[in-house]
Chains A and B, each alone.
Chain A
Amino acid sequence: MKSKSALENYLFVLPAVLIFSIFYIYPFYKVFTLSLCQWDGIAHFNFTKNFVGFRNFKELLLEDKIWWQAMGQAGYITLIALTFQNALALALAWACDRDIKGGNIYRVIFYLPPVLSEVVVGLVWRWIYDGNYGLLNYWLQNIGLAHLVRDWLSDPKTALICVAVIHCWKGFGWGFIIFLAGLQTIPRQLYEAARVDGANSWQTFKKLTVPLMVPVFILVSILTILGTMQVFVLILSMTGGGPGYHTEVPVTRILASMVGSSRFGYACSQGIIFGAILLIISFIQIRLSKYMRQE
């Protein structure tokens, strides 16, 4: 009886597991074996001939300073995204959750940035940040802050933050939708009950909304970390990783190894270490959330 029930339950996950094993597990296995080899991606590949053991990993962990600089820079953008971007998304979702006039229009508008193609985003924001004829500098000069005018994307002090701002702008739409979905599945009765009990908005938010939204917060924060650490199309179109190495991120480094230096095996080892780090961070977050929920 029990085994029949378990078998039935397996059927639920079977299609997912099947597709997943073919299209993810196999390439992952390949990437893992490649990370133990030295290969340029073109020549005939022979595992025994190209095998170099853990040398790629050793080089990556001990000698590649630029890799760790890139990780740090991606981490910096992620931190900004976690705080600024998600706070904005939450505030907007909360504002739209209340019965607000034109709430539907706002919902559509806030979803526009993620929908816009990379090409348009690149062109518009480069125009905004341009050092010579950009909108930002133009506007700063007109309101009397001319001393702040600078080469936003070429100045090592501001390049990374500017890219982070674009990323947050493009990304808050996702957090917004997920938060909104989360807020709207909280039964209205609970809010009614709270109002009857005399709680004001802040108290309602703190004692009622937040605890019910914790799993959604965790979800969004994990997704933010994963999505932001993997940023690269934006970097390539805005700064190309420059000036110097100031806006390099892990994925641009992997691409540089894969195509620029034709070190496919090394690129695979970078990918694996990168994945391992993300995995550890996510599991810490999940553990933390479980711990917090038990309190």
Chain B
Amino acid sequence: MIQGIGYKLERVFKNLLIHLFLISVAITCVFPLLWMLGSALKTQQTVFSDMSIIPSNPLWSNFYHAWTKGGFGIYFLNSIIYTVTVVFGIVIVSSLAAFAFSRLKFPGKNIIFYMFLAAMMIPLPGSFVPLYVLMTKLHLVNTRIGYILCMINVGLSFSIYLLKTFFDRIPTVLEDAARIDGCSKLGIWWNVALPLAKPAVAVIIIFNSLNVWNEYILATLIFSSKSLMPLQRGLMIFQGTHITQYPLLMAAITITVLPIILIYLLMQKYIIKGITAGAVVG
């Protein structure tokens, strides 16, 4: 009896410690967000002198002004288009390739895979200019397709590597079963590999959508027409060479951050307990 109670107390105590740990880390993560929200509601004069989290006269109009002044309508739409197409493209292209690297045999497989790996490891800070020249020659400058293809390339190596790692861990039993049932290679990819690697696919979606959503250097380089620019371009309006309009900037950034958090909320549900749970028994 006493042992039982002791065991329970120990569990409660351990849980408490864990929660304390989690909460303290969580506070450091939430703090900048709160500061950002608070600053979005202040004025240029009080943004650094007013120390309260929520000012006494919150200026909700800042959000409206940020949207209109920053011309957010079209930029927002563009960012959504780019993020959706690029992420979709990356998921399809990289999962096909990762599946092949993990399960299929063909000559030169290792070399090509290491090539992708190496790309991840060799950053090219000087590559923007040659890339631009190439895009001009291909008439892809100032086009949506050009930017989308570029961004797909940016996320390929990491996605392929991640997916391959996860595909490798899937037991081959399920695949063999599917093949016996008469599934084609493509069918195995679609029906077996992808679903089982859902957590990994979710990670890739989260990761790449953040990258595309926040990207601005390549966008500035490739696009000249305002109607093609993504959201980050709108943010730049508030960051002048000399004057930064902090409250409007913070309001604009808040607007920018919301969709990404939304995507994450949707996707992180898929990082759930393994679906193999039921399948491997017996």
A117 & B273 in contact (Cβ 8 Å cutoff):
no
With contacts A17-B112, A95-B22, A180-B271 taken as known, whether A28 is within 8 angstroms of B122 at the C-beta atoms is: yes
* Chain A residue contacts of B33, Cβ below 8 A: 112, 116
B120 & A226 in contact (Cβ 8 Å cutoff):
yes
With contacts A109-B30, A226-B120 taken as known, whether A28 is within 8 angstroms of B127 at the C-beta atoms is: yes
A235 within 8 A of B: no
* Chain A residue contacts of B52, Cβ below 8 A: none
B268 & A107 in contact (Cβ 8 Å cutoff):
yes
- Tell which of A16, A22, A178 touches B94, judged by Cβ atoms closer than 8 Å: A16
> Which residues 32-83 in A have Cβ within 8 Å of B in the complex?
34, 41
Counting contact residues on chain B (CB < 8 A from A), the size range is 35 or more
A19 & B207 in contact (Cβ 8 Å cutoff):
no
A185 & B199 in contact (Cβ 8 Å cutoff):
yes
B134 & A278 in contact (Cβ 8 Å cutoff):
no
* Chain B residue contacts of A107, Cβ below 8 A: 268, 271
B180 within 8 A of A: no
- Shortest C-beta distance, B224 to chain A (Å), equals 20
With contacts A107-B268, A271-B126 taken as known, whether A181 is within 8 angstroms of B202 at the C-beta atoms is: yes
B107 & A279 in contact (Cβ 8 Å cutoff):
no
B265 & A9 in contact (Cβ 8 Å cutoff):
no
B250 & A120 in contact (Cβ 8 Å cutoff):
yes
B150 & A23 in contact (Cβ 8 Å cutoff):
yes
With contacts A13-B101, A181-B199, A189-B281 taken as known, whether A109 is within 8 angstroms of B29 at the C-beta atoms is: yes
Contact mask B1-45 → A, CB, 8 Å, 1/0? 000000000000001001101100110111111011000000000
- Tell which of A31, A92, A278 touches B127, judged by Cβ atoms closer than 8 Å: A31
Contact mask B140-181 → A, CB, 8 Å, 1/0? 000000000110110010101110011011000000000000
- Shortest C-beta distance, A9 to chain B (Å), equals 4
With contacts A13-B97, A219-B162, A275-B122 taken as known, whether A106 is within 8 angstroms of B26 at the C-beta atoms is: yes
> Which residues 234-273 in B have Cβ within 8 Å of A in the complex?
235, 239, 249-250, 253, 256-257, 260-261, 264-265, 268, 271-273
A119 & B273 in contact (Cβ 8 Å cutoff):
no
* Chain A residue contacts of B129, Cβ below 8 A: 41, 264
Per the bound structure, the CA–CA distance linking A20 and B203 in Å amounts to 21
* Chain B residue contacts of A189, Cβ below 8 A: 277, 280-281
With contacts A13-B97, A24-B153, A106-B26 taken as known, whether A31 is within 8 angstroms of B261 at the C-beta atoms is: no
- Tell which of A180, A267, A276, A282 touches B125, judged by Cβ atoms closer than 8 Å: A267
- Tell which of B165, B239, B261 touches A108, judged by Cβ atoms closer than 8 Å: B261
Q: Select the stretch in A140-148, A156-164, A251-259 that faces chain B.
A: A251-259
B99 within 8 A of A: yes
Per the bound structure, the CA–CA distance linking A34 and B253 in Å amounts to 38
**For residue B202, which residue of chain A has the nearest CB?**
A181
With contacts A19-B149, A19-B153, A116-B36 taken as known, whether A6 is within 8 angstroms of B134 at the C-beta atoms is: no
B117 & A282 in contact (Cβ 8 Å cutoff):
yes
B29 & A34 in contact (Cβ 8 Å cutoff):
no
**For residue B170, which residue of chain A has the nearest CB?**
A185
Per the bound structure, the CA–CA distance linking A105 and B181 in Å amounts to 42
Contact mask A216-239 → B, CB, 8 Å, 1/0? 100100010010001000000000
Per the bound structure, the CA–CA distance linking A215 and B168 in Å amounts to 9
B153 & A23 in contact (Cβ 8 Å cutoff):
yes
B125 & A117 in contact (Cβ 8 Å cutoff):
no
- Shortest C-beta distance, A68 to chain B (Å), equals 18
- Shortest C-beta distance, A289 to chain B (Å), equals 11
> Which residues 92-112 in B have Cβ within 8 Å of A in the complex?
92-94, 96-97, 99-101, 104-107, 112
Contact mask B221-240 → A, CB, 8 Å, 1/0? 00000000000000100010
* Sample of 19 further A-B pairs with CB below 8 A, known A12-B97, A117-B253: A13-B97, A19-B93, A19-B149, A22-B149, A27-B124, A30-B127, A31-B127, A41-B129, A92-B22, A108-B268, A112-B30, A174-B207, A184-B271, A185-B199, A185-B276, A188-B274, A267-B125, A268-B126, A282-B121
Chain B interface (Cβ < 8 Å from any Cβ of A): 15, 18-19, 21-22, 25-26, 28-33, 35-36, 92-94, 96-97, 99-101, 104-107, 112, 115-127, 129-131, 133-134, 138, 149-150, 152-153, 156, 158, 160-162, 165-166, 168-169, 185, 189, 199-200, 202-203, 206-207, 210, 214, 235, 239, 249-250, 253, 256-257, 260-261, 264-265, 268, 271-274, 276-277, 280-281
Chosen A-B contacts, 30 in total, with CB atoms closer than 8 Å, are A8-B185, A9-B106, A9-B185, A16-B94, A19-B152, A20-B116, A22-B138, A22-B149, A23-B131, A30-B133, A41-B129, A92-B25, A104-B268, A107-B268, A107-B271, A114-B210, A115-B260, A124-B32, A181-B202, A181-B203, A184-B271, A184-B274, A219-B165, A230-B123, A268-B126, A271-B124, A271-B125, A275-B121, A276-B122, A279-B122
